[in-house]
Amino acid sequence: MPNLLKHEDSPYLQQHKDNPVHWYPWCDEAFELAKKHNKAIFISIGYSSCHWCHVMEHEVFENIEIATKLNEDFICIKIDKEERPDIDKFYQEVYMILNQGSGGWPTSIFSTPENKPFYAGTYIPTKSQEDMMGFGDLIDIISLKIAQNDKVLFDNAQDIQAYLQPSSRPTQAATLSDNIIRTFMNQCNHNFDISFGGFGQAPKFPQISTLKGLLDIYLLNKEDKALHMLTHTLDSMVQGGMYDLVQNGFCRYSTESTWLVPHFAKMSYDNALFIELFTLSYKATKNEKYLNIAKDTANFMIKFMSKNNLFYSASDADSDGVEGKYFVYDYEETLLFFQEHGFNEDDALEILSHLRITASGNFEGSSIVRFEQESRPEHYEKAIRLLDKIRQERDYPFIDKKIITSWNAMMIKSLFLLSNYDESFKKIAIEHMDAILEKLYKDKHLYHTSMIGLQAKTRAFLEDYAYMATSLIQAYQCSLDKTYLSLAQEMVDKALADFFQEGKWFFSRGEFITDADIFDSSYAGCVGVIVDALLSLGILVDQKYRDLAFMSLEYHSADLVKRPLRYPYLFNQAIRYIKEDRVIKGSEDFLQKVNSSFENLDYPFVQRYLSSENQAILCGTQSCYTNLDIKSNLEEELQKTL
């Protein structure tokens, strides 16, 4: 049977269509053949911007000897984790059970002919090493044991099946109170990198939900330590490396502690969440640098990562098979280029020194652009333009052009938020919202992903409904167009019908029944996000949604109060529930006239609601506090209610 991936839409699967391995996509035919011919099943899960996925492809899946063995004795299935996150979540749980620790990508699963998993790994090298069996030796052993119907192997696979059930309800609930803020701050302090910001050791991930939690704590309590941890981290990240000073946009994570050497992939979700965080940080601090970073990142996404008002999913770290090649600079070549384009030698040497482009380099002999000073020197803008021009002569890294609903929703929400401070982004946000709804919301059904020009196939998961709902609510807050609010309610009602059961949320309930995440990984777990939407609808539409938010918080409260840093987005929603939302209700004319005052309110949990009543009013979740007019001091009136 030939490699069947050439028929698939996914760019990641298309990357593997020429492998000598006879790959199948996830399909019934593959599993039927495994049973019929008594062959083990090998399932490989990855995504297009995953560096180690590319390494394993080159070393293992392009190896003729290994491919021949796989084709003879295995049914091989390739999965794009971004296209089928439900399958990925299921097999990450398999990995956890088999290895007593979290997995990663590529994910390598071996199953019996009945598709009962018994072995799970991540990257597996071709040949055995001191502490790791090589792929060739591993498949020799597995194929032999399957042929012999090895009792131990099949019994173990059967035992594992018993663990692969959705988790049961927690045995107890805990009281949610302000004390959770102190626990969160203590855990942040313990993990904070006082030198370079961020949390934990390398590799360092941005942990945007944690930073947003610190921002809210500062706004609520004026706690300077929270603000310092936030701003020190932001200031460190934007010095270059993690943040691309030449073409803007953020990379996935830093491979070391100073944010200099990133994994060069750029993900839509990271950049969306950074736009939101920097915009909100500007609102709180009035630091223009933060607003400029937000706008530059948005413009990067619009220029490089979108088409037809739809955002792509990711760009790769590698160019021509070399990680970071597109992004780094050779000293001699750059110096010569600058001199050929208007710099004299002294000025060129000076500006290259400022930008840390040196003869010795800071990344494998080349240089990542870095600028660590507060004020920009003479010729800075010209130098950045020339560095951009150098890149334009290179091949841009591969872009995975999947359109993923939840990630587009994150970007659109951030654009609407940003438009409060730069009106030019409002039209762009509306156009992107219209495009994603037209593309992936069909006949009252939301879909998870598609390609431009192709039909969507996979129905949406909880995260798609959750992120779309919060994006639509932000669109309503920005535009006061009640169509957005009605659609948000529609999304949440559908999510409640399909994924909710007595306080518990499921990520998927179709072919795979998987629990929804409360912890934040690459981005916020969808339980926290759907609670966010419920709380907003609870103040804007109907109290019942707030009650459902409480059920969701209570369900996870025992873990949440002990380890809030593990669940920062859900922590934020718990604080929001405790402190309670406020809403300013009024006519469109009134709300527009007080908009600048509204945007400068410190309290982080305030909504606007377009009312048909002539009288504007400030309300809470249970009662209204005071009438308002255009002469009212919104900040003073709001503070009286807290």
pLDDT for res 158: 86
pLDDT for res 170: 64
pLDDT for res 117: 95
The SS3 call for residue 275 is helix
- Is the N-terminal amide bond of 397 cis, ω within 30° of 0? no
User: Strand 74-80 relative to strand 23-24: parallel, antiparallel, unpaired?
Assistant: parallel
**DSSP state at residue 243:** B
- Half-sphere exposure (Cβ direction) of 144: Cα atoms closer than 13 Å: 6
**Segment (H or E) for 590:** helix 588-593
Count other Cβ atoms within 10 Å, centred on residue 441.
19
What is the distance between the alpha carbons of residues 309 and 514, in angstroms, rounded to a whole number?
32
Distance of CA 580 to the CA centre of its chain: 27
Residues 308, 313, 316, CA angle at the centre, nearest 5°?
Answer: 120
Count other Cβ atoms within 10 Å, centred on residue 300.
18
- Half-sphere exposure (Cβ direction) of 629: Cα atoms closer than 13 Å: 1
**DSSP state at residue 57:** I
- Cβ-contact 497, 445 below 8 angstroms: no
Q: Angle 288-304/424-440 helices, nearest 10 degrees?
A: 40
What is the distance between the alpha carbons of residues 635 and 218, in angstroms, rounded to a whole number?
16
Which contacts of 498-506 are long-range, i.e. CB under 8 A and separated by 24 or more positions?
498/462, 498/465, 499/462, 499/465, 500/548, 502/169, 502/551, 503/169, 503/551, 503/552, 503/554, 503/555, 504/169, 504/555, 505/462, 505/530, 505/552, 506/166, 506/462
The residues with which 450 forms a beta bridge, in sequence order, are 403
Distant-in-sequence, close-in-space partners of 526: CB < 8 Å, separation ≥ 6: 406, 461, 462, 463, 466, 467, 505, 507, 516, 517
What is the distance between the alpha carbons of residues 47 and 175, in angstroms, rounded to a whole number?
40
**Residue given tokens 């953020």 in the structure block:** 250
**Residue given tokens 């872009």 in the structure block:** 399
Q: Which amino acid is located at 293 in the chain?
A: I
pLDDT averages per 10-residue partition of the chain, 642 residues: 91 97 97 97 96 95 97 98 96 92 94 95 92 92 94 88 66 88 98 97 96 98 97 98 98 97 97 98 97 98 98 95 96 98 97 97 97 93 98 96 98 98 98 98 96 95 98 98 98 98 94 93 96 98 98 96 97 98 96 93 97 93 94 95 94
Tokens of 212: 């947003």
What is the distance between the alpha carbons of residues 631 and 615, in angstroms, rounded to a whole number?
13
What is the distance between the alpha carbons of residues 625 and 584, in angstroms, rounded to a whole number?
10
pLDDT for res 218: 98
pTM of the model: 0.94
- Is the N-terminal amide bond of 203 cis, ω within 30° of 0? yes
